[in-house]
Structures are given as C-alpha cells and as structure tokens.
Amino acid sequence: MLKSYINRLASLTLITIILLSASFGLVNVHPSNAGGGGGGGSGNTLPIVAILVSENTQTHWSYTSWTYWAVYASLEDILSSDGTPFVEINDSAIEAGGLLNNGIPKYPILISLASECVSDAEVSQILQYVSAGGFVFAGSSAFTRYSDGTARSDFALSAQMGVTCATSPTNNWGQASYISVNATDQLDDILPTT
C-alpha cells in the first residue's frame, strides 16, 4: 500500500522540485536513519496519508511570491483526484502524540511540504513516529525554523535525513536539477537510476 501512495506521488515529486525549486528537493526519513525498525507500520495503522498543515508556519510565513496554503492544498487536490484518503494534522496534534496510537503509527506516511516552523517537541514526536515504523516524506523548506519563526542553523532532522542546508535556512532556495539516491530504500524504488 505504501508503494502505491509513493507511485501516486511520483508526479508530485517532479512538480515540487520544479515549482518550489528547493535546494534539497524531496527526501525521506525512514526507520533505518532514525534507529528504528519497521516498514510503514501495521496493526492499528490507518490507510490514510497524513499531511502536516502547520499553524506555526502559517503564522510566520514570510514569502510574498506564494502562500503556504497553496503547497498543501495542491497536494490535497492531487490525492483527492484519485481517491487517496488523507487527513490534515497540525503542529499541536503532533506535539500531543497524534502520529501514534498505542506506540503504533496511526498513518503509514506523514507528508510535510514547506512546513518550516516546528518545535523541538514536535521533532521528537516525529522521530518517535519514524522509530515506530512510520515514514516522513519532506520537501521544500520543511523543518528549517523553530515554532516561533526564528531560523534553525540546519534542518531539524538534518542528521536523520542525511542532508544539510546549502545556505541559510531562511534563504535556502536554489535550482534543483538532480536527484541523487544515497541509500537503498523501498521509497527510493520509484526514482530513476540514471
């Protein structure tokens, strides 16, 4: 099931890289990078995509050429178009443990596109979710600021994602022309090898 979600998002990956031109493109954080086991969850995991709609990011959004809601609304339109179920989850719900149900991922995947402003408590919950077997699909400027809007020195999940900011997190936009696969993972199976 996770593979079908990722296949449906393949066109979104290219659109996101082209439209947002994030310097790090799209990456995934998966259990092997977070120190957990897993494979997308099981048991009480709902077959629903979770989309991070960040109230902190909405409050501190500083770009004038485009709006934050356009990013997640576009994703929701794509998922709706083929009937893929999704739920919005916000910063407060994640901080309160909303990604897990009795230690099991509530959703097989959390997608975070341009959700910049996250607290350390939220990051901790996301890492617990990944350690329990959940997947995070992050792109654009996700995780580059604290919940109050101040810049982080690097991505909040830099070590787990295996990437660092190319420049200052508040000005980390650039041409994204290439995708490099650095590890073998089931989420990487859809990426071209040449």
Angle formed by the axes of helices 2-20 and 68-81, nearest 10°: 140
Instruction: Quote the CA–CA distance of 187 and 9 in Å, as a whole number.
Output: 11
Lowest mean pLDDT, pick from 13-22, 84-93, 120-129: 13-22
What are residue 45's phi and psi, to 5 degrees? -70, 125
Please state the length of the chain.
194
> Whose CA is closest to 8, among 175, 137, 141?
137
pLDDT value at 191 more than 90: no
What is the value of pTM for the model shown? 0.70
CA dihedral 118, 54, 44, 83 (to 10 degrees): -140
* Residue pLDDT, tens place only, 35-77: 333 334 345 677 899 999 999 999 999 888 888 999 999 999 9
Which two tokens mark 72? 């997640």
So what's the pLDDT on residue 26?
Answer: 36
DSSP one-letter code for 99: T
DSSP one-letter code for 178: -
How does residue 119 score in pLDDT terms, banded at 50, 70 and 90? Answer: very high
What are residue 101's phi and psi, to 5 degrees? -130, 105
Instruction: Quote the CA–CA distance of 193 and 19 in Å, as a whole number.
Output: 22
Strand 49-52 and strand 109-113: the pairing is parallel
* Residue pLDDT, tens place only, 137-161: 988 888 999 999 999 988 898 888 8
CB 113 within 8 A of CB 16: yes
Q: Is residue 165 helix, strand or coil?
A: coil
Contacts of 42 (CB under 8 A, 6+ apart): 104, 133
